[in-house]
Amino acid sequence: MSSLSGQHILLGVSGGIAAYKSCELVRLLRRAGAEVRVVMTRGATGFVTPLSFQALSGNPVRCELFDPEAEAGMGHIELARWADKVVIAPASADLLARLALGLADDLLATLCLATTAPIAVAPAMNRVMWEHPATAAHVESLRGRGVTILGPAEGEQACGEEGPGRMVEPQAIIDHLAAIPGPLEGVRVLVTAGPTREALDPVRFLGNRSSGRMGYALAEAARDAGAVVTLVSGPVALPAPQGVETVRVEDARQMHEAVMARIGGVDLFIAAAAVADYRPKAPAADKIKKTHEGLTVELVRNPDILAEVAALQEGPFTVGFAAETSDLEAHAREKLERKGCDLVVANRVGEGLAFDQEENEVLLLWRGGSEHLPRQPKRALARQLIERIARRYAQD
């Protein structure tokens, strides 16, 4: 799997003849499995039309900061958060100067201030402009702030001169972006997902409404962030994610066994499964017949996988889920303490959220803080959660 697969790349295009090469860059990025959104400066639109980038990227192209219609779709702060990586190609002398000064006088410069994603720039300009002390100072200042400067290459220039100032080739930009480590690079992650089924007899079980979507989306987002992921899943209708070792189980005791057999060496444990707390004490060997008016089934407790993993000496960083119908924060805080985990993702059940739904909205809690992540599709939410989890894991 390409390391750009599933990544969100924000491509900034500024005014310069090399803008035509960025069309090829978009094509290559998409071929590598990345999702691309393009933002153009006004100067860039003089060289290539927004429509070209829109057709190539498959997403609307933005040029203006104060565009009410575009802001209603994905606001500029949302766009800055969306990006896993920002690349500006070509980067003009003017854009480098504005970035170095921290100006926010157009959409692209504003996004560069508002994002926490790594930024790379591929300068392209006349060689005298590149060698000008003002440009050199801006480039140094950007480098000092962690911006990667790709090139420029030397050679024949569009203006007829010879020297440094040509934009590096799209493939070199792709190679750089692919080599930037993700926030969970090399981290070993184990995710549980889906419901469990607790047998009553050979054909019936006690279960719940979990579809497994949130856990599967988390496993995929962790993989895209560079992690080595194992997914232990209860029975769901979802295909095993590519590039993720998937272990299928049926009931809570099998899930417990599968997790404990693999937990050694795991750095991060995410318990997204809706594990049954109880199971029938003695499942019937044969199908239960309706010979009586009533039926009483004795239930016994299942092992609490999350609590057991959280109690391990030298165990992994643990993330639990709390599905609540009332007093969300209070119950989730109590769970954080009782289970001894490092983070709790709390969601309200019902109102079209959480169980067996496409969308979710959560409250993330840890000792000493919390953050609300608004209602959105589970895949988008999973990416945000993995980004937050990675941050807290790194601080641990």
Residues that are catalytic: 159
Among residue numbers 33 through 72, which ones bind ligand C5P (CB under 6 A)? none
Which of residues 192 and 246 has its CB atom nearest to ligand C5P in the complex? 192
The number of residues that bind ligand C5P (CB under 6 A) is 14
Could you give the string, one character per residue 159-198, with x where binding to ligand C5P holds by CB under 6 A and - elsewhere? ---------------------------------x------
Nearer of residues 127 and 335 to ligand C5P, judged by Cβ: 335
- Region of 101-109, 151-159, 228-236, 273-281 interacting with ligand C5P (CB under 6 A): 273-281
Q: Which 241-270 residues touch ligand C5P, going by CB under 6 A?
A: 252
Closest separation between CB of residue 352 and ligand C5P, Å?
21
The residue within the footprint of ligand C5P, chosen from 302, 357, 360, 384 (CB under 6 A), is 302
> Do β-strands 188-193 and 268-271 pair in parallel, antiparallel, or remain unpaired?
parallel
Cβ contact 12:44 at 8 Å: no
Distances (CA, A) of 237 to 216, 245, 248, 354: 11, 17, 12, 17
First CA to last CA across the chain, in angstroms?
A: 29
Q: How far is the CB of 306 from ligand C5P (least distance, A)?
A: 3
Distance separating alpha carbons of residues 330 and 97, to the nearest angstrom: 49
**Of 58-66, 90-98, 115-123, 316-324: span binding ligand C5P (CB under 6 A):** 316-324
Q: Does 86 bind ligand C5P (CB under 6 A)?
A: no
Kindly tell me which residue out of 109, 275, 354, 381 binds ligand C5P, with binding defined by CB under 6 A: 275
Instruction: Determine which residue in the list 156, 277, 337, 371 makes contact with ligand C5P, applying CB under 6 A.
Output: 277
By CB under 6 A, is residue 364 in contact with ligand C5P? no
On the 0-12 / 13-18 / 19+ scale of CB atoms within 10 A, 193 is buried
Closest CA to 223 of 195, 183, 260, 261: 183
Q: For the CB of residue 224, give the shortest distance to ligand C5P in the complex, in Å.
A: 22
Work out how close the CB of 193 gets to ligand C5P at its nearest, in angstroms, rounded to a whole number. 9
Q: Which stretch binds ligand C5P (CB under 6 A): 85-93, 300-308, 356-364, 386-394?
A: 300-308
The reply to whether 332 sits near ligand C5P by the rule CB under 6 A is no
Determine the Cα–Cα distance for residues 27 and 174; give it in Å rounded to an integer. Answer: 11
The Cα 178–Cα 268 span in angstroms is 24
Among residues 230, 320, 332, 364, the one that binds ligand C5P under rule CB under 6 A: 320
Shortest distance, position 318 Cβ to ligand C5P, whole Å:
9
Our CB check for ligand C5P shows the closer of 90 and 212 to be 212
Residues that bind ligand C5P (CB under 6 A): 192, 252, 271, 273, 275, 277, 302, 304-306, 320-322, 335
